[in-house]
């Protein structure tokens, strides 16, 4: 099982957690992972058995204010060992969520977390 915290924003909905990595409230884990690199446009940093990963939307999608949409992940085992750079994250993590994001980024209201988790679980099941 791949455990991820995924935070991003859509075209008209603000920054939020789409995947919670098994945490009821992932904010503390997210803040620990990104402490010191909050302002980095792209980043990859290992913290214990987790990796903080951030990159701009690979398709250059922007929000209503014209800002490129960032994707922030806290990658946990087993994939954390395979993510040593932003490029690694683009190759191994982005394919797990790209189709999901494509479906929700331009909707008016933020997507429901459980629906995103279900879609993510389906992607993982197809890969095994």
Q: What is the pLDDT of residues 26-38, one digit of tens each?
A: 999 999 999 999 9
| Residue 1 pLDDT > 60 | no
The full set of domain ranges for the chain reads 4-117
With bands split at pLDDT 50, 70 and 90, how would you rate the model's confidence at 117? confident
CA angle 33, 100, 83 (to 5 degrees): 35
> CA-to-CA distance for 83 and 107, rounded, in angstroms?
30
pLDDT digits (tens, 9 = 90+) for 40-91: 999 999 998 999 999 999 999 999 999 999 999 999 988 898 899 999 999 9
Largest CA distance in the chain: 39
Inter-CA distances, 65 with 10, 13, 84, 123, Å: 11, 11, 32, 31
- Whole-prediction pTM: 0.94
- CB count within 10 Å of CB 15 equals 13
| Residue 94 pLDDT > 90 | yes
**Residue 54 in 3-state DSSP?**
strand
Inter-CA distances, 81 with 1, 43, 104, Å: 14, 16, 29
Task: Give the residue from 6, 18, 9, 16 showing the smallest Cα distance to 68.
Answer: 9
> Torsions phi, psi of 95, nearest 5?
-60, -20
Determine the pLDDT at residue 2.
61
């Amino acid at each position: 099982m791949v455990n991820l915290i995924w935070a991003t924003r859509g075209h008209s909905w603000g920054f939020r957690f789409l995947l919670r990595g098994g945490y009821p409230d992932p904010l503390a884990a997210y803040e620990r992972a990104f402490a010191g690199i909050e302002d980095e446009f792209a980043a990859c940093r290992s913290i214990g058995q987790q990796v903080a990963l951030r990159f701009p939307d690979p398709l250059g999608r922007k929000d209503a204010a014209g800002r490129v949409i960032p994707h922030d992940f806290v990658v946990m085992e087993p994939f954390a060992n395979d993510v040593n750079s932003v490029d690694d994250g683009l190759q191994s993590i982005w394919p797990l969520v790209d189709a999901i994001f494509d479906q929700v980024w331009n909707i008016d209201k933020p997507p429901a977390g459980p629906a995103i988790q279900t879609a993510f679980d389906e992607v993982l099941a197809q890969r095994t």
